[in-house]
Structure 1
Amino acid sequence: MGSNDSRPSSPAELLRLARFDLTLLPDELLLLVLSFLPSRDLVLQCRLVCRRWRSLVDSPCLWRLKCGRRWRTSQLEALHGCPNVSWARVYVKEPFGRNLLRNPCGREQFQHWELRHGGHGWRVENNRSNLEGAEDQRSFVSSFNWCTKWQVIDLLKEGLWKELLDHHQPEISISDWYAGRSDCGCVYKIHVKLLAANKRSVIEEFSRTMEPIPQWNDECYHQVSHVFRNYGPGVRFVHFLHEGKDTQFWAGHYGARITNSAVTVTLPK
C-alpha cells in the first residue's frame, strides 16, 4: 500500500467505510454492533455520525448491553429493580466492586489523603513482609505519637445515585491491613463514618482499637474489616480514618504500618 493511502481514524469512520451499509440494519442490530465499541469512541465519534446514531448512543439500551458484558447476571438483575438507573453512568464510573479509596498503598506518597502528623510524622516505606493481593507493596508508616490520616468519599461523584443509596442501600464494605516492625510494638485504630449530605451528620459508624502488636513480632499483616448494611436513607459520603503509633516511643518511624485500605460498594441481591 502506498504512503498516501488514507486509513480510518476512528471506529465510527471504520463503520462508515464498511462494505455493508449499516443504515440498512434495524435499530436492535445496530445497537448490538455499537455496543462492542469503547465508550470513549461512542461518545466522541459515533454520536457525531448522524442523528440516528446519536439517539442510539444516548439510549439506555446500548449501555445496558455493555454493562451486561462486564458484570454478572445476578448483579444486573438487582439493578433492574432500582429506579432511575443511568446505565451509561454505571458503565463509565464503575461504582460497584472497585476500591473507592485513592492511593491505598502509598504509591503516590500522600496524595488524596488528609494528614495529621504525630512524632516524626507519616512516611511511606516498602513493606517489610509481603502482603498478598495488595496493589502495591508499600505502606504508610506512623511514628511515636498518634499519626492520623483520612479520606472522604463522595458516593454520588463515584457513580452511585440517591435512590439506590436511600431505598436499596447496597452493602458498603471497608477493609484495612496493619502490621508492626519485628523489633517494636505498635497500636492501630480505625474509625469509619457514613455521613449525610452536610458531611457532619453521622448515619452509621464503625470504630475499633485493635490489640497492640507486641515487640518482637513476626511483622505479618493483620486485617480489620466491616460491612455496613441496612444503614437507612441519607448516606452520601464515607469518612475513612485510621491512625497508628509505636509503643516504645522511639524516634523515627517504628509505629503501625498501614496499607491496602479499601472501601467498596456491592450491588444489592
Structure 2
Amino acid sequence: MGQAKSRRRTCTTPPPRGQEIRGWIDLNLLPQELLVLILSWVPGRTLVTCGRLVCRQWRDLIDGPLLWKLQWERDPLKREALPAALEVARRCPRMEWARVGILQPFGRNLIKNPRGEEQFQHWQVGHGDGMCLGGNTCWISQLIDLVKEGLWEDLLDSFQPDIFISDWWGTHEKCGCTYNIYVLLLAADKNSVIARFVTEMDPTEEWNVPFQQASHVFRQYGPGVRYLRFQHIGNRPGVEHTEAHITNSTVLVKLSQ
C-alpha cells in the first residue's frame, strides 16, 4: 500500500463574524513614550498632513515638542537648530512646534541662493539679464515671505524675534561701481514699510570705499511685519554696464540674548 499524499487544507470560507483575524495593532494602547518614539520616525510632513487627523492624542503629540526633539537629535543638519527652537518655546508659550519642526525658521538662512549662483535663481534682476544701462543702475532683489518660511503672525506681532541681516558692500575700484544694500520690513500688502536698513556712503569717499561687511539687527520693529525685501543696488557714472554682485547674503531669525 502506498502512503497517502499529504494535502494542505485551504480555507475557502471566511471565518464567522467576530472571529476575524486582525493584522493591525492599536498604537494608542502603547505607553505614550513608546508611541512618541514610533511616530518620530515618520516624515514630518506626513505627521502634519495625515497623523494629526488620526485622533486627538496623535494631534496633541504632533503639536508638542517631544516628537520633534527626537527627530532633530537624530539629524545632524537639524540638530544645530534645536537650541534656538527651545529658546523660542521658553519665551513664547504659543509655540507652533509642527510648523517649526518642518520649516526650521530659526537659525536658517532665509535667503535662497545667497551667492547668486544658478543664474540668479530666486532673485529678481533689474532688466532681466543681470546687467542694465537704464539710469546706470542695476538692482537685484529677493522678497521673503516670513510666514511661509515658518514664522507665524502672533510671534511676529507679539514677540518680534530679532531679524539679523548681513552682506558685503562698497565700491569696485577697477570700474568705479558703487554697491548699496537696502533691506525693508514690509506689511502684508508688500508695500507698506515698517522698518528699513540702508548702507550709507560718504560722498567725499564715494569711489574709494573698500568692500566691507555690513550687518544689522531689526529689533522691536513693531507689529504687522510679514515680508522682508533684500536688495542690492549698483550704480556707475558712465554709460557702461553695471554688474550685479551678491556675496553670501544672509537673513537669520533669532531671539535677543
* Structure 2 length-normalised TM: 0.70
Matches within 5 A, 1:79-98: 79-98=89-108
Q: Deviations over 1:82-118 (max 9, x none)?
A: 143221110111111112122222222133222324x
Matches within 5 A, 1:15-164: 25-40=30-45, 42=47, 47=51, 54-55=58-59, 58-66=62-70, 69=73, 70=79, 71-73=81-83, 75-117=85-127, 122-123=130-131, 145-164=136-155
Give 1:264's aligned amino acid.
L
Residues 195, 146 of structure 1: CA spacing in aligned structure 2 closer, same or farther, 3 A cutoff?
Answer: same
Tell me the residue number matched to 2:255.
Answer: 267
Give 1:78's aligned amino acid.
V
Q: Deviations over 1:211-257 (max 9, x none)?
A: 56748x9xx7521111101111111111222211335x26345x563
Q: Comparing 145-154 with 203-212, which one deviates more in the overlay?
A: 203-212
Alpha-carbon distance in 1 for matches of 2:34, 2:133: 58
Tell me the residue number matched to 1:133.
Answer: none
Which ranges of 4 or more aligned residues in structure 1 deviate by more than 6 Å?
Answer: 21-24, 141-144
Residues 250, 66 of structure 1: CA spacing in aligned structure 2 closer, same or farther, 3 A cutoff?
Answer: farther
Secondary structure at 2:119's aligned position in 1? coil
Alpha-carbon distance in 2 for matches of 1:52, 1:201: 41
Shift of 1:151: 1.7
Is the counterpart of residue 251 in structure 1 residue 240 in structure 2? yes
Gaps of 5+ in 1: 1-16, 124-140
Give 1:259's aligned amino acid.
T
Give 2:212's aligned amino acid.
H
Tell me the residue number matched to 1:172.
Answer: 163
Alpha-carbon distance in 1 for matches of 2:44, 2:96: 14
Shift of 1:76: 0.4
Secondary structure at 1:166's aligned position in 2? helix
Q: Percent identity?
A: 46
Residues 56, 169 of structure 1: CA spacing in aligned structure 2 closer, same or farther, 3 A cutoff?
Answer: closer
Conserved 8 A contact 2:40-2:67 = yes
Q: Deviations over 1:173-207 (max 9, x none)?
A: 11122466563222112221111122222211111
Give 2:113's aligned amino acid.
N
1:183 is aligned, of 169, 174, 188, to: 174
Alpha-carbon distance in 1 for matches of 2:135, 2:195: 31
Alignment: residue pair count: 226
Residues 144, 213 of structure 1: CA spacing in aligned structure 2 closer, same or farther, 3 A cutoff?
Answer: farther
Conserved 8 A contact 1:168-1:268 = no
Conserved 8 A contact 1:144-1:251 = no
Alpha-carbon distance in 2 for matches of 1:97, 1:61: 18
Q: Comparing 144-153 with 232-241, which one deviates more in the overlay?
A: 144-153
Conserved 8 A contact 1:95-1:160 = yes
Shift of 1:258: 2.8
Residues 43, 142 of structure 1: CA spacing in aligned structure 2 closer, same or farther, 3 A cutoff?
Answer: farther
Alpha-carbon distance in 2 for matches of 1:109, 1:83: 42
Question: Going by fraction, where is helix more abundant, 1 or 2?
Answer: 2
Alpha-carbon distance in 2 for matches of 1:67, 1:163: 25
Alpha-carbon distance in 2 for matches of 1:256, 1:52: 52
Conserved 8 A contact 2:136-2:241 = no
Conserved 8 A contact 1:79-1:267 = no
Query: CA-atom RMSD, angstroms?
Result: 3.8
Give 2:106's aligned amino acid.
F
Gaps of 5+ in 2: 1-22, 74-78
